[in-house]
């Protein structure tokens, strides 16, 4: 139970909620715990559900198959992150994409009725609304990202958004360049080539998993071209 409570303390719907309240909420809730091997499917497109998933440990990837047949990575979910919230409370309650375990993972599935019960706590209710609203903004950013045709523009859009979130010109990549390439929907060699060009032009400086933005104005100019 300790790893479950620890992950829930990191979850957006329990932000600033006392640990004892979280423990009491989950102890009276209807939920399931499941473990998945690497690359194992968790939910498939058009599958119905009454549960929100919360990652206890591991990593979950949400993919959408494009009209051309390519798998497009929409986003990742790590420890404490949720998935399926919009699905559960939609009128159809069907997954619009595939969800699978990027790494060996442990997932808590929280029943919709239990979430309604938790909403009796004003702070949890507020957190849930904020979380769903943030998801809408996230999807809007993803759609904008896909609207850029050039790789450099996708890189610029990603980095500039990260600086807005963190307020820092040093961006730490929480995943590998291969995963980053999948996120941007480009090939890894193409991503590496364009990053090298931006480095040679002194727009960015790369040090392992950290990217330092040397010239923010040039990144902004890329999006206006």
In this structure, of 1-5, 103-107, 142-146, 194-198, the range with the lowest mean pLDDT score is: 142-146
Residue 92: the pLDDT is 74
Q: How confident is the model at residue 136 (pLDDT cuts 50, 70, 90)?
A: confident
The pLDDT tens digits for 184-221 are 888 889 999 999 999 999 999 998 888 999 999 999 99
Give the chain as a 3 state SS string. CHHHHHHHHCCHHHCCCCHHHHHHHHHCCCEEEEEECCCCEEECCCCECCEEEEEEECCEEEEEECCCCCEEEEEEECCCCEECHHHHCCCCCECCCEEEECCCEEEEEEEHHHHHHHCCCHHHHHHHHHHHHHHHHHHHHHHHHHHCCCHHHHHHHHHHHHHHHHCCCEEECCCCHHHHHHHHCCCHHHHHHHHHHHHHCCCEEEECCEEEECCHHHHHHHHHC
pLDDT (average), residues 144-157 = 89
Instruction: State the average pLDDT for the chain.
Output: 88
For the cut 90, the answer to whether the pLDDT of residue 177 exceeds it is no
Render pLDDT for 63-118 as a digit per residue (tens, 0 to 9).
Answer: 877 666 667 777 788 999 998 887 888 777 778 888 999 899 999 999 999 999 99
pLDDT at 68: 64
Residue 155, pLDDT > 90, answer yes
183 vs 60, residue with greater confidence: 60
Structure confidence by residue, pLDDT tens digits, 24-53: 999 999 999 999 999 999 988 888 888 999
pLDDT given at position 75? 78
């Amino acid at each position: 139970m300790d790893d479950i409570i620890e992950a829930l303390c990191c979850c957006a719907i329990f932000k600033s909620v006392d640990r004892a309240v979280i423990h009491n909420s989950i102890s009276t809730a209807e939920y399931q715990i499941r473990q998945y091997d690497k690359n194992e499917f968790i939910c498939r497109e058009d599958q119905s559900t009454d549960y929100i998933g919360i990652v206890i440990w591991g990593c979950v990837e949400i993919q959408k198959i494009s009209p051309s047949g390519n798998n497009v990575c929409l986003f990742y979910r790590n420890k404490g992150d949720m998935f399926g919230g919009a699905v559960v409370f939609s009128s159809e309650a069907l997954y619009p994409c595939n969800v699978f375990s990027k790494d060996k993972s442990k997932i808590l599935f929280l029943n919709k009725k239990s979430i309604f019960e938790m909403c009796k706590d004003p702070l949890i209710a507020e957190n849930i609304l904020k979380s769903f609203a943030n998801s809408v903004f996230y999807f809007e950013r993803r759609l904008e990202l896909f609207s850029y045709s050039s790789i450099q523009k996708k890189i610029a859009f990603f980095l500039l958004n990260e600086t807005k979130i963190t307020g820092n010109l040093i961006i730490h990549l929480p995943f590998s360049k291969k995963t980053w390439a999948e996120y941007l929907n480009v090939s890894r060699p193409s991503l590496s080539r364009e990053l090298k060009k931006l480095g040679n032009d002194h727009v960015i400086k790369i040090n392992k998993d950290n990217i330092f933005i040397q010239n923010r104005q040039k990144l902004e100019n890329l999006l206006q071209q």
